[in-house]
Chain A
Amino acid sequence: MRRDLTNSILAIVVFTLMLGIAYPLLTTGVAQVLWPNKADGSQVEVDGKVVGSRLIGQDFRGPRYFHSRPSATDYSANVTFFNNLGPNSRELSDQFKKNLAGYLRRERPFNPGLQASDVPPDAVQTTASGVDPHISQANARIQARRVAEVRGIPLERVLELVDDNTDGRALGVLGEPGVNVLDLNLAVDSEAA
């Protein structure tokens, strides 16, 4: 028993230094040398000022920009939580109705005849992280008509930008394709400028 106590106390010190200090600091050092931008959160700068991270969704409002997916956290990247409403929740259903109606109201003038059944679920349902950086390609194609018309850019060009800013499946097969909203909106901005 005494031996166990001595060994344990020494082990706690040794393993804490090895696994809790040396390992994370060594990993940080190597990561900062190999991929400094990614290790620091893939921050995006415009005119020398940070305006976001290409991995963190942000709020876009109004007709000039592609909109991110709905967020239960107001797009917080430092206080995160889930929406957590259950599958049979009336409150959740009401949120969906509100989001769907808002989406149709915004996009229908530019997509005549747009029906609820045409709207992909990612445009209406909240994300898990609250800051999903992507929207589905179907969602982006609907919004493209609005952005093209409001910005006075040919639709074909906007759809090209959508394709250019789509992160495909890893190795062509893993995950789902998603359109990076921040990248796309910055591309639209520089196209319009």
Chain B
Amino acid sequence: MTAQGWLQIAIFLAVLTALTPLLGGYMARVYRNERVLLTPVFGPIERLTYRLLRVNPHVQQDWKAYARTTLVFSALFWVVLYIILRTQGVWPFNPEGFDSGTWDVSFNTVSSFISNTNWQYYGGETTLSYFSQMAGLTVQNFVSAAVGMAVLAAVIRGFASRGAAELGNFWQDLTRTLLYILLPISFVGALILVSQGVIQTLSGSVAYQTVQGFDQTLALGPAASQIAIKQLGTNGGGFFNVNSTFPFENASGFSNFIEVLFILLIPAGLTATFGRMVGNRRQGWALYAAMAVMLVATIAVAYGAEQNGSPAQKNAEVATASADGTTGGNLEGKEQRFGIVNSALWTAATTGASNGSVNSALDSYTGTGGAVPMVNMMTGEVIFGGVGSGLYGMLLFVLLAVFIAGLMVGRTPEYLGKKIEAREVKLTLIGTLYTALAVLVTTSLAIATKWGAPSIFNSGPQGFSETLYAYTSQGNNNGSAFAGYTGFVQPNAPGNVGAFSITFADLLGGVTMLLARFVPLLAALAVAGSLATKRVAPLGAGTFRTDTPTFVFLLIFVIVIVAALTFFPALLLGPIVQALTDQLF
């Protein structure tokens, strides 16, 4: 670990923290339906959109109506995306002439993008046409992110409500999220990425002979426009199979900085949005602090572990020391232009947030380094988490922490002046524990039956880690992978000759992702609906403050305890075994 490395981490955190209140304040105005900076540009388009959708944005919805619209919209979009992928051959923008996907891989991919997971069993450049990437996946990168943010806006209104049951209008929240937040930032971001060398073209691939006469073919495509929103919307599904390790997807140190910043930009900003919308900015900063502390801790662990090097490396007497002109460390599956520090930073950020894009190969991380992304996901994706979903997940943990604090001091728990009672606590437990349960059940199913075996690549504890990682990632809507684990086997051959899908992994993963998305989403909306109509009690001498360092500590403690009690045994069998031994398997 070097001072220069820590400086890069410090710069990243400083920029993120500085942007949080700026973007957060802007988003609060968007969700209060106020006039914002971009209203002169997008105001007419916003009104036109409402007319085309035949919606009246002034109709207010209670939590049930809001939830119903969310589900109907998502379900129909699922069907449309499935049809697009299964009829890929008939659409334009298909210079490589790719056929349609198989039914099971398509099921997985569609569920993955609707649920904002963007798990990759598909290979981007080897199976998807530009049309599927643009009109199918890019659209869903935007829409699934906007759905999460819209639901969060509704949940926050429930927490802030002074007795009204209405949580807002889904169509208005969705449209304003897309037009005022996601679309403009993505457009600017995409152009910055192109300026660094990320590709944006409709031309087909280019074949040539290299300097020494070997054959090489450049896969091309409209990548930058998708990558910007893939990072910004905590999606993470790559244009290329190897995601943001590929130079055409992440070309330089600067493009890497923008992409990793985009991962956390909105989830961090939303904490400030929350503070403003509930009328107490300190409440937002308290949540930001809890998230940031956990993030920094995991960055440090990953950085240290990868700098130290792997047993395979030490056994082969490969140098690990950093010296003049080399970063040293475990560079297996890492790119020279990112080095150890930016790989570790990205890995912690992408799994703290439910982004799931990668700029290094996680399967090649050391035992300890590989445990970092797993642990981050096992906290339920609340260390910033997904756009929208991270914060509503965190709010459920806040209620849990308040409830536990209430038990300890023997008072009825309150949050923001509202009493937390049996109904809210039950819903909170469903929302916080469902994903953990789903991860353990699906992992056990894949390990204990013969159907899980064909997906595993590595032998020994790493094979178990791959399985655990796959269902932790899909079960928390993350999308990153120990990529040896597969549901679609592609031999390295042109035209995907001999490729076949693994139905069990595709279906189990697909169902897991959909439930992981919508069970906590409904629980959070139900909690908000229940809180919305409650009376607000004035702040008293006995009120348990939730905007203090004490509460931040308690919140972190509750999150860590829940994750540790649930997952420690599973972690022992995989990454911890490998962290403790130098033995090779």
Against B, the Cβ 8 Å flags (1 = close, 0 = not) of A157-177 are: 000000000010111011110
Give Cα A56 to B252, complex, Å: 12
**How many residue pairs between the two chains, A and B, have CB atoms under 8 Å in the bound complex?**
413
User: Within 8 Å CB of A4, what residues of B?
Assistant: 68-69, 72-73
Answer whether residue B54 sits at the interface, using C-beta atoms and an 8 A cutoff: yes
- Whether the pair B326, A138 counts as a contact (CB closer than 8 A) is yes
- Whether the pair A77, B217 counts as a contact (CB closer than 8 A) is yes
- Whether the pair A24, B211 counts as a contact (CB closer than 8 A) is no
Q: Which of A117-139 contact B (CB under 8 A)?
A: 117-122, 124-139
Answer whether residue B400 sits at the interface, using C-beta atoms and an 8 A cutoff: no
- Whether the pair A175, B245 counts as a contact (CB closer than 8 A) is no
For B246, give the chain A residue with the smallest CB separation. A129
Give Cα A5 to B209, complex, Å: 53
Q: Using a Cβ–Cβ cut-off of 8 Å, how many residues does chain B contribute to the interface with A?
A: 136
User: Within 8 Å CB of A80, what residues of B?
Assistant: 123, 125, 240-242, 246
For A119, give the chain B residue with the smallest CB separation. B319
- Whether the pair B208, A52 counts as a contact (CB closer than 8 A) is yes
Against A, the Cβ 8 Å flags (1 = close, 0 = not) of B325-345 are: 111111111111111011000
Answer whether residue B422 sits at the interface, using C-beta atoms and an 8 A cutoff: no
Against A, the Cβ 8 Å flags (1 = close, 0 = not) of B115-148 are: 0000000010110000000111011001100000
Answer whether residue A192 sits at the interface, using C-beta atoms and an 8 A cutoff: no
Give Cα A8 to B333, complex, Å: 43
Give Cα A140 to B457, complex, Å: 34
Against A, the Cβ 8 Å flags (1 = close, 0 = not) of B42-77 are: 000000010011110000000000001100110011
Q: Which of B171-201 contact A (CB under 8 A)?
A: 171, 174, 178, 183, 186-187, 190-191, 194-201
Give Cα A182 to B216, complex, Å: 14
- Whether the pair B336, A136 counts as a contact (CB closer than 8 A) is yes
Give Cα A32 to B198, complex, Å: 12
- Whether the pair A93, B315 counts as a contact (CB closer than 8 A) is yes
- Whether the pair A87, B310 counts as a contact (CB closer than 8 A) is yes
- Whether the pair A120, B326 counts as a contact (CB closer than 8 A) is yes
For B68, give the chain A residue with the smallest CB separation. A4
Answer whether residue B503 sits at the interface, using C-beta atoms and an 8 A cutoff: no
Give Cα A158 to B321, complex, Å: 26
Q: How far is the CB of A32 from chain B (nearest CB, A)?
A: 7
Answer whether residue A153 sits at the interface, using C-beta atoms and an 8 A cutoff: no
- Whether the pair A43, B256 counts as a contact (CB closer than 8 A) is no
Answer whether residue B94 sits at the interface, using C-beta atoms and an 8 A cutoff: no
Q: How far is the CB of A108 from chain B (nearest CB, A)?
A: 15
- Whether the pair B7, A41 counts as a contact (CB closer than 8 A) is no
- Known contacts A27-B222, A41-B248, A52-B216: does B254 contact A125 (CB below 8 Å)? no
